[in-house]
């Protein structure tokens, strides 16, 4: 371990350097405590101009139209998002890299181009996009939740596992070529391992309620998006890292099947673990924006540059026949019962779909495979080195393992050799076969399941909340889309369950954690689960669900 490095000072220096990149007129004189002002949007509505509030409330699709009509400029939009993101960061610690000067200069260039030619630079001309701190941008540090990259360039290269670190990640290059404006990178927990977004750099708070967690590992993205500090973000997901944060903040997030979207030149922990690979995908406030950016990425034919990316064209004309579509709605998996508001929203959704002539079966039987068994397999795979990589990278800065990871150290990898690893691969294949058989027998086009076992939790309490509803879907490699369907309200009272009704010890701990008064107004989000490589279908079915909810 490097004894002469004070990791706390490294973290403090980084926090101060980020604040120094924020214009002085954007710095808050006093920051209210989370208890004084829990909701970031409510607070910002008192200090941001009405014009900027109107800009950041629009979808990217709406912003496109206003740019084309000349009603808004790229600079106006970028300025509004830079300003708001700076304020959100001061209240939530959601940013790790800030490069407003570069973003505003690009916006000016785009405005000049549009003025002189009458043409946009691309489909995303003038649209600010935030990036999780795995996505590489030339000249901007990538740190993956470690402090060492903020000490030296050599450390950054070692940790990022990426010889092309000085280039855009391919997915970022695709969006950049279409006019996207990058302006910030968002926080992650160390090594992207954690259901909260905390590290030795900072603890990121939920922007809807700052006393609560934004989830992880894309929690910086989710907190920024929900506070309207971003309109489109890119996250990654290996166990729920897009879907969990979207669930906690009421967002749309797409966990595409592996290698549908390009992962080329995205930095990652354990980058060569390919049995259950991490995937990259969009996180948005509006479904239309998620569809827009997904279509742009696939229509660029990324498989021509990323050999792992599958050559599957985007299906723009996919139609959903409401008379033939069949949903299976699963309120719980018989292992961990989600909290009352989630149960209510799932049951209401099933009833509303049926009322509108759409077949939606209420699933009352247990899943074909215990979800905990699939989740445990995932844990075995990404902890099989007993955290040696993490320990090695921590030593570069003398930083300790954060508490979030220490709790994981009681889950040592159970893979001692290649033979055992291959056995895990076979088990994954059998799990996939069992679930595919279930889909075939039931005839489901999609399942609707809880987004999480809770709508949120107090910062630091993630160990009390079960996360089994996201993790089992990664080894299955299904396409999954999060959909906000409601909010916690006065109907969601606590109710007791008998001891024999609990599906597991974790079920009891999770259930007893719920207190209605703590969660009033928090979003309720479900997961729409489709078969592998059905991203377009998932979006189409999500539109159908939203239309039904709108009617009711």
Q: Which residues pair with 281 in a beta bridge?
A: 235
Consult the annotation and say whether 337 binds a ligand.
Answer: no
Residue 73 annotated as binding? Answer: no
DSSP labels for 64-105?
HHHHHHTSS-HHHHHHHHHHHHHHHHHHH--EEEE-HHHHHH
Of the listed 222, 241, 258, 456, which one is catalytic? Answer: 241
Q: Is 70 annotated as a binding residue?
A: no
Q: What is the DSSP string of 291-303?
A: HHHHHHHHHT-GG
Query: 362: Cβ–Cβ under 8 A, 6 or more apart, which residues?
Result: 329, 331, 347, 350
Q: Is 230 a catalytic residue?
A: no
Q: Is 217 a catalytic residue?
A: yes
The one catalytic residue in 14, 132, 424, 428 is 132
Look at the chain and count its residues: 552
- 512 vs 494: CA distance, rounded Å: 9
C-alpha–C-alpha distance, residues 117 and 115, integer Å: 6
**Residue 239 is labelled as binding a ligand:** yes
Q: What is the rounded distance in angstroms from the CA atom of residue 185 to the CA atom of residue 249?
A: 18
Distance, CA of 279 to CA of 507 (rounded, Å): 28
Contact 26, 83 (CB under 8 A): yes
Q: Which of 85, 217, 300, 468 is catalytic?
A: 217
Sheet strand arrangement including 359-362: 95-98, 181-186, 128-132, 232-237, 279-284, 252-255, 479-487, 523-530, 446-450, 326-329, 359-362
Looking only at the bridges linking them, the beta strands covering 252-255 and 359-362 are unpaired
- 238 marked as binding residue: yes
Tell me phi and psi for residue 125, to 5 degrees.
-50, 120
Torsions phi, psi for 527 (to 5 deg) = -105, 130
List the end-to-end C-alpha distance of the chain, in Å, as a whole number. Answer: 60
For residue 289, give every residue at least 6 positions away whose Cβ sits within 8 Å of its Cβ, in sequence order, or none.
Answer: 59, 60, 61, 231, 232, 252, 282
Cβ count within 10 A of residue 438: 17
| CA–CA distance, 410 with 195 (Å, rounded to integer) | 16
Handedness of CA 524, 528, 529, 533 (dihedral sign): negative
* Distant-in-sequence, close-in-space partners of 109: CB < 8 Å, separation ≥ 6: none
Q: Which two tokens stand for residue 41?
A: 């949007």
| 241 tagged catalytic | yes
Q: Are 103 and 78 in contact (CB under 8 A)?
A: yes
Distance CA 288, CA 312 (A): 21
List residues with catalytic annotation.
132, 217, 241
Binding residues for substrate, by number, are 192, 217, 238-241
Please report, in range form, the residues annotated as the binding site: 192, 217, 238-241
């Amino acid at each position: 371990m490097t004894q002469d490095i004070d990791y706390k000072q490294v973290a403090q220096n980084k926090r101060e350097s980020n604040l120094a990149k924020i214009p002085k007129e954007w710095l808050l004189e006093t920051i209210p405590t989370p208890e004084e002002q829990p909701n970031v949007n409510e607070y910002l509505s008192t200090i941001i101009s009405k014009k900027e509030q109107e800009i950041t409330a629009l979808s990217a699709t709406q912003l496109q139209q206003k740019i084309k009509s000349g009603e808004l400029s790229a600079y106006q939009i970028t300025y509004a998002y830079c300003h708001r993101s700076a304020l959100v960061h001061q209240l939530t610690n959601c940013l790790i890299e800030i490069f407003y000067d570069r973003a505003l200069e690009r916006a000016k260039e785009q405005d000049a181009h549009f003025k002189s030619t009458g043409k946009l630079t691309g489909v995303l001309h003038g649209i600010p996009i935030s990036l999780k701190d795995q996505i590489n941008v030339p000249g901007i540090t990538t740190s993956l939740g470690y402090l060492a990259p903020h000490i030296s360039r050599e450390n950054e290269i070692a940790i990022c596992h990426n010889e092309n670190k000085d280039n855009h990640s391919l997915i970022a290059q695709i969006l950049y070529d279409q006019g996207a404006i990058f302006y910030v990178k968002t926080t992650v927990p160390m090594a992207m391992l954690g259901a909260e977004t905390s590290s030795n750099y900072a603890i990121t708070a939920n922007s809807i309620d700052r006393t609560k967690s934004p989830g992880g590992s894309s929690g910086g993205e989710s907190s920024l998006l929900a506070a309207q500090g971003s309109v489109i973000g890119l996250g990654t997901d290996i166990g729920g890292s897009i879907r969990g944060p979207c669930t906690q903040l009421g967002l749309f997030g797409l966990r595409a099947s592996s290698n549908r979207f390009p992962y080329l030149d995205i930095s990652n922990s354990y980058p060569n673990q390919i049995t259950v690979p991490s995937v990259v995908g969009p996180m948005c406030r509006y479904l239309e924006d998620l569809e827009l950016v997904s279509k742009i990425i696939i229509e660029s034919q990324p498989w021509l540059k990323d050999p792992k990316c599958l050559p599957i064209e985007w299906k723009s004309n996919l139609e959903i026949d409401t008379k033939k579509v069949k949903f299976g709605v699963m309120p719980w998996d018989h292992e961990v019962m989600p909290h009352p508001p989630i149960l209510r929203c799932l049951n209401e959704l099933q009833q509303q779909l049926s009322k509108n002539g759409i077949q939606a079966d209420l699933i009352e039987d247990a899943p074909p495979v215990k979800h905990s068994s699939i989740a445990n397999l995932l844990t075995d795979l990404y902890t099989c080195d007993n955290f040696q990589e993490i320990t090695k990278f921590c030593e570069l800065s003398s930083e300790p393992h954060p508490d979030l990871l220490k709790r994981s150290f009681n889950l040592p990898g159970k893979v001692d050799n290649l033979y055992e690893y291959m056995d895990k691969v076979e088990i994954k294949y059998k799990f996939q076969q069992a679930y595919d058989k279930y889909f075939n027998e039931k005839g489901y086009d999609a399942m609707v399941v809880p987004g999480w076992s809770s709508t949120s939790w107090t910062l630091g309490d993630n160990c009390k909340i079960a996360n089994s509803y996201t993790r089992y879907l990664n080894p299955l490699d299904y396409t999954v889309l999060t959909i906000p369907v409601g909010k916690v309200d006065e109907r969601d009272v606590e109710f007791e369950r008998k001891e024999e009704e609990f599906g597991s010890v974790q079920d009891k701990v999770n259930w007893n954690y719920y207190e209605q008064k703590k969660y009033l107004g928090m979003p309720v989000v479900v997961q729409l689960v489709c078969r592998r490589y059905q991203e377009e279908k998932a979006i189409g079915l999500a539109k159908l669900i939203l239309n039904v909810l709108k009617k009711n």
